[in-house]
Chains A and B, each alone.
Chain A
Amino acid sequence: MSPRDAKPRLDLSGRVEMTHGAGGRAMAQLIEAIFKPALANDFLAQGNDQAVMPLPGPGRLAMSTDGYVVSPLFFPGGDIGSLAIHGTINDVALSGAVPLYLSVSVIIEEGFPLADLARIADSMGAASRAAGVPVVTGDTKVVERGKADGVFISTAGLGLVPPGLDLSGDRARPGDRVILSGSIGDHGIAILSSRENLEFETAILSDSAALHGLIAAMVAAAGPHLKLMRDPTRGGLAATLNEIANQSGVGIVIEEAAIPVKPQVAAACELLGIDPLTVANEGKLIAVVDPAGAEALLAAMRAHPLGREAALIGTIGEDDQHFVQMRTAFGGGRIVDWLAGEQLPRIC
């Protein structure tokens, strides 16, 4: 029995109307029927304009917010709901924090099918429960048809950084090692495969996942040695490495042969003329660690289900120009640049 069945019924064959956002009974019904049961927890049940939560212990607070606009809303391996939960948990956790609480704001386009909205809310709830990070407060708004693309979700997260941990994008130093938690490009290819005018068949699923469990294991194994962690989402591994190189004022040299890419992802990239290094991920992270901690870190990551394919992919070096360079599997060298413009399939 899904949590919704116990609550007042809303005819899910209908569509979202402007009244669902107008603050009247229809809005209350929408929240009661769809969001409350999907996301249920004690903090949300307080029913106030804010949630009041206890401070869990010593340390520093970490906070992050992110907007989710993905097309299509449902894709192989996930949907915008689970993505909005995973993405913000990850952004909080990459500081080394234990993620504690989430907020959710949903902007819905008039005419959006209620059944799809329920599916998204249920998916958010399932992801939040599985991660053990409750959505403690939320908001919905409805905008006129054409003013949004189905559903936009914005989530924010709070977490607690344990004392003694200090991760930051400017801490990479020459000699540090770069470790990647698994294969790249899965999310972006899963999205592209289901996009209109581009459809191709693939068994590739989005890697969307909450990484705080993996991160906790990494912190336990190599905490003081960890310099920084990032997740290579939009812009892919290439953008994230360039961010790190710029923020820390260093160069990075990576080994193409060490970077895990699933054969199907590589094939899809060939077909579309795009580079797997620039394709988005939603369940992977990069860690920069001092050499003394690299081995323990890798071992801990490989022992975790989300880090089984973790690999040492490169080394931080000195470079005034902050280039990210790659030694190709072919034996040459090249720059790994930011993605220019949007990722477009190309003919040439």
Chain B
Amino acid sequence: MCLAIPAEVIDLLPDEMARVSLDGIVKTISVGLLDEVAVGDYVVVHVGHALARIDEAEARRTLALIAEMGQMAAEAAR
């Protein structure tokens, strides 16, 4: 459930609102559920609200780990 998609905060607006961009699609959403949102943050957007922040470092680590897991399997198969 819970269709949500990461988008980049490009502009902070009054009343805990912000403009976020997803590959050039710009939507005004509420960031009232997060503390200290900054321009450049990637946030998880659900029904017009930012629910969580994406941790860039963790994202990079996850992708590296996925690549590594696959590589190990490939090497083991050889």
- Least Cβ distance of B50 to chain A in Å? 13
A side interface size, CB within 8 A: 15
> Contact string, A261-272, partner B, CB cutoff 8 A, digits 1/0?
001101110110
CA distance A200 to B27 in the complex (A): 5
CA distance A280 to B16 in the complex (A): 35
Neighbouring B residues of A270 by C-beta, 8 Å: 5, 22
> Contact string, B41-63, partner A, CB cutoff 8 A, digits 1/0?
00001110000000000000000
Neighbouring B residues of A348 by C-beta, 8 Å: 1-3
Cβ of A203 under 8 Å from chain B = yes
Cβ of A202 under 8 Å from chain B = yes
- Partner of A266 from B2, B23, B26 at Cβ < 8 Å: B23
Report A173-212 residues with CB < 8 Å from chain B CB: 200-203
Neighbouring A residues of B19 by C-beta, 8 Å: 201
| A→B interface (CB under 8 Å) | 200-203, 263-264, 266-268, 270-271, 273, 346-348
Among A264, A271, A346, the most chain B Cβ lie within 10 Å of the Cβ of A271
CA distance A264 to B26 in the complex (A): 10
4 tightest CB-CB pairs across the interface, nearest first?
A: A267-B23, A201-B26, A348-B1, A267-B22
**Nearest opposing residue in chain A for B22, CB measure:** A267
Could you pull out 21 A-B pairs where Cβ atoms are within 8 angstroms? Answer: A200-B25, A200-B26, A201-B19, A201-B25, A201-B27, A202-B24, A202-B25, A203-B24, A263-B23, A264-B23, A264-B24, A267-B25, A268-B25, A270-B22, A271-B45, A346-B3, A347-B1, A347-B46, A348-B1, A348-B2, A348-B3
